[in-house]
A = this chain, B = another copy of it.
Amino acid sequence: MPVDVRIVEVGPRDGLQNEKTDIGTANKIALIDRLSKTGLRSIEATAFVSPKWVPQMADAAEVMAGIARAPGVSYPVLVPNEAGYERARAAGAEEVAVFTAASEAFNLKNTNAGIDESLRRFAPVLARAKADGVKVRGYVSTVLGCPYQGEVPLTEVVRVARALHEMGCYEISLGDTIGVGTPGKARAMLKAVAGEVPMAALAIHFHDTWGQALANALACLEEGVAVVDSAVSGAGGCPYAKGASGNVASEDVVYMLHGLGIRTGIDLDLLADTGRWLAALLGRDTGSKAGKALGAR
């Protein structure tokens, strides 16, 4: 298992994008600023996508303008194409993320493009980012199952992850978008990808729709992965299962990691405070069990 793990906090983007309640731009900025004080080193801040399709992220430029960027903290933003990259850069983004699915059916539904077409659209983004000295993260979604096609061949997950890495993504985040994976499958998927992309360039991104996220993360940590995506308060949801849980809660991941003797640099109490604060804004209980237990003390 790794000695140090970097948490990529995706609550402000993947979390809030999938919450029904809009907490407003000022609260989004406050959320990121609170997270910046917890010891997190990567906070996915927003997405420069079409406001027509993703109205939750329409205030991306205001969010980027409003946050107080802490030294040593990276604030990646999602960009779907070159136009998004330009908007992100104009807003001062110094790290971006591109995304595609490992399932052709999902990618077509989600982005109206096949996987190969998505990869082609990323080429100019990667080229410009390289010239600009901007780091690019790559997401592969539906790595353990797809709401449309069901099984996703491991060979496709490996192929897409390898393509993103070869295009210049410094890190590939492997996402179980619908949270159907179990630990043996998660481990096998990670091992297959690590056969083609160095483990040091891989991250795991689990959703807790079926309650498996932390167990899946444990299996992958045992294989040596050292970057974990998670969302404070377990923010987010699953558009494919009404009322289901969203991202694995950062607090629960950090509690597990610290219990395993793995360093994160994160102050769990501060993180859990922020999670409960966010949950109150969203009008519900925190989705983090560790956060709830800490709050009951």
Stretch at the interface among A37-45, A73-81, A215-223: A215-223
A210: contacting residue among B185, B218, B252, CB under 8 A: B252
Known interface pairs A208-B289, A214-B211, A245-B289; A183-B260 also in contact (CB < 8 Å): yes
Stretch at the interface among A131-139, A158-166, A236-244: A236-244
* A172 adjacent to chain B (CB < 8 Å): no
By the criterion CB–CB under 8 Å, are A296 and B252 in contact?
Answer: no
Minimum C-beta distance from A295 to chain B (A): 8
Interface centre among A241, A251, A258, A297 (most CB of B within 10 A): A241
0/1 string, A225-253, CB within 8 A of B gives 1:
00000000000001001111100010110
* A87 adjacent to chain B (CB < 8 Å): no
| Interface residues, chain A, with chain B CB atoms under 8 Å away | 179, 181-185, 208-212, 214-215, 217-219, 238, 241-245, 249, 251-252, 255-256, 258-261, 285, 288-290, 292-293, 296-297
Known interface pairs A211-B214, A211-B249, A214-B215; A181-B243 also in contact (CB < 8 Å): no
**Which residues on the B side are within 8 Å of A183 (C-beta)?**
218, 256, 259-260
- Per the bound structure, the CA–CA distance linking A166 and B209 in Å amounts to 43
By the criterion CB–CB under 8 Å, are B252 and A289 in contact?
Answer: no
By the criterion CB–CB under 8 Å, are A255 and B292 in contact?
Answer: no
By the criterion CB–CB under 8 Å, are A184 and B260 in contact?
Answer: yes
By the criterion CB–CB under 8 Å, are B244 and A296 in contact?
Answer: yes
Known interface pairs A181-B259, A182-B259, A260-B184; A241-B296 also in contact (CB < 8 Å): yes
**Which residues on the B side are within 8 Å of A185 (C-beta)?**
259
Minimum C-beta distance from A13 to chain B (A): 22
Q: List 30 A-B contacts (CB under 8 A).
A: A181-B259, A182-B258, A182-B259, A182-B260, A183-B218, A183-B256, A183-B259, A183-B260, A184-B261, A209-B293, A210-B255, A210-B293, A211-B251, A211-B255, A211-B288, A211-B289, A212-B256, A214-B214, A214-B215, A215-B215, A215-B218, A218-B219, A238-B293, A241-B296, A241-B297, A243-B285, A243-B292, A243-B296, A244-B293, A245-B289
By the criterion CB–CB under 8 Å, are B290 and A242 in contact?
Answer: no
Give the number of times this chain occurs in the complex, counting copies. Answer: 2
**Which residues on the B side are within 8 Å of A255 (C-beta)?**
182, 210-212
- Per the bound structure, the CA–CA distance linking A210 and B290 in Å amounts to 4
Minimum C-beta distance from A259 to chain B (A): 3
- Per the bound structure, the CA–CA distance linking A83 and B271 in Å amounts to 49
Known interface pairs A218-B219, A244-B292, A244-B293; A211-B252 also in contact (CB < 8 Å): yes
Minimum C-beta distance from A250 to chain B (A): 11
- Per the bound structure, the CA–CA distance linking A285 and B245 in Å amounts to 12
**Which residues on the B side are within 8 Å of A181 (C-beta)?**
259
- Per the bound structure, the CA–CA distance linking A215 and B211 in Å amounts to 10
- Per the bound structure, the CA–CA distance linking A255 and B216 in Å amounts to 13
